Amino acid sequence: MRDRERAQLGTGLLVVLSGPSGVGKGTVVAQAMSLKREGASRLRRSVSVTTRPRRADEREGVDYFFCTPEQFEERVQAGRLLEWATYLDNRYGTPADWVDEQIASGHDVVLEIEVQGAMQVKERRPDSVLIYMLPPSWRALRRRLRTRRSESEEIQRRRLAVAREEIKWLPEYRYCIMNDRVAKAARRLLAILEAERARVARTDPSAWLEGDDD
Ligand code: 5GP
C-alpha cells in the first residue's frame, strides 16, 4: 500500500461535485446532509471564495465568502486555495486549510465546483471522488435557469453555453448522478460515498489484525 493511501485511512473523503450551473448541486447536498441515513452526519459542504457579486438571497460565509479581485489574488499567492478557476469573468476558489482540517477529523467534504477546478483537485488529490450531476434534460436546465430571476438573460445564455462545453469532461469523472428528484439524487450521493468508503484501498487490515488475541 502506498504511503498516500495509508495516510488516508481513518480520514474523510474529498468529494468533488460538478454539474451545470442551475442543476441543483447545493440543494441536493443540503438534502443529503439532512437525511437520517448512514454517512449523512459526516458530510460537510465547503464554502468557496468568490469575486462574483452577492445575489439577494445569498449569505456571506454560508453560500460564499465574497471578496475583491485583490483579496482573491492574495489568497492565490499565499497558497491558501486548494484549487481556483475563472467562470464567466469571476474567480472562484476552495479554501485549502478548512478542507484539510475537516477531512483529517473524519468528515466527508463536498466541493461544489466547476470543471477546471475539479481537474486541479483530481491532479493534486488523486484519491478524491469525482461526481458529475446531470439535469434530467437540457430543457429542464434551461427552465430552471430562467426561473432564477436574479440573473440577466445574457448571463443565463452564457451559463448554458459553458454547460455545453463542460459536459465534454464527463469521462474524467468517476460517477454521474441525475437530479430528476432531489430526494433521490441525495440518496444516490450517500450511496456513492458509502461504496467509496468500502473500497479496499481505504480499509486498514493491520488495525483489524491488532484485535487478534489468540
Ligand atoms: P455560481 O455563480 O452559480 O454560484 O457558480 C458558478 C460555477 O462556479 C458553478 O458551476 C459552481 O459550482 C462553480 N464554483 C463555485 N465555487 C467554486 C470554487 O471554489 N471553485 C471552482 N473551481 N468552481 C466553483
Q: Which domains does the chain have, with CATH numbers?
A: 3-46+107-200 (3.40.50.300)
Ligand 1 in reach of 21 Cβ (< 6 A)? yes
Could you give the CA distance from residue 61 to residue 65 in angstroms, rounded to a whole number?
A: 5
Report residue 151's pLDDT band, with 50, 70 and 90 as the boundaries.
Answer: confident
Rounded to the nearest angstrom, the distance between the alpha carbon of 210 and the centre of ligand 1 is: 44
Ligand 1 in reach of 46 Cβ (< 6 A)? no
Average of per-residue pLDDT values in the chain: 91
Residue nearest atom 1 in ligand 1 by C-alpha distance: 21
Ligand 1 in reach of 83 Cβ (< 6 A)? yes
8 A C-beta contact, residue 94 and residue 85: no
Residue nearest atom 19 in ligand 1 by C-alpha distance: 93
Which pLDDT tens digit goes with each residue over 158-193? Answer: 999 999 999 999 999 999 999 999 999 999 999 999
Could you give the CA distance from residue 75 to residue 66 in angstroms, rounded to a whole number?
A: 13
Rounded to the nearest angstrom, the distance between the alpha carbon of 101 and the centre of ligand 1 is: 21
Residue nearest atom 20 in ligand 1 by C-alpha distance: 93
pLDDT of res. 214: 63
pLDDT of res. 100: 96
Could you give the CA distance from residue 80 to residue 119 in angstroms, rounded to a whole number?
A: 18
Rounded to the nearest angstrom, the distance between the alpha carbon of 182 and the centre of ligand 1 is: 20
Single out the residue of 46, 41, 82, 42 nearest to residue 61, CA to CA: 46
Report residue 8's pLDDT band, with 50, 70 and 90 as the boundaries.
Answer: very low
Residue nearest atom 6 in ligand 1 by C-alpha distance: 21
Q: Where are the beta strands (DSSP E) in 114-183?
A: 129-134, 175-178
Single out the residue of 206, 186, 202, 205 nearest to residue 43, CA to CA: 186
Ligand 1 in reach of 131 Cβ (< 6 A)? no
C-alpha cell belonging to residue 143: 427552465
Ligand 1 pocket: which of 29, 75, 87 to mutate (most atoms <8 Å of CB)? 87
Residue nearest atom 23 in ligand 1 by C-alpha distance: 113
8 A C-beta contact, residue 80 and residue 96: yes
Which pLDDT tens digit goes with each residue over 115-131? Answer: 999 999 999 999 999 99
Ligand 1 in reach of 52 Cβ (< 6 A)? yes
Judged on CB neighbours under 10 Å (0-12, 13-18, 19+), 171 is exposed
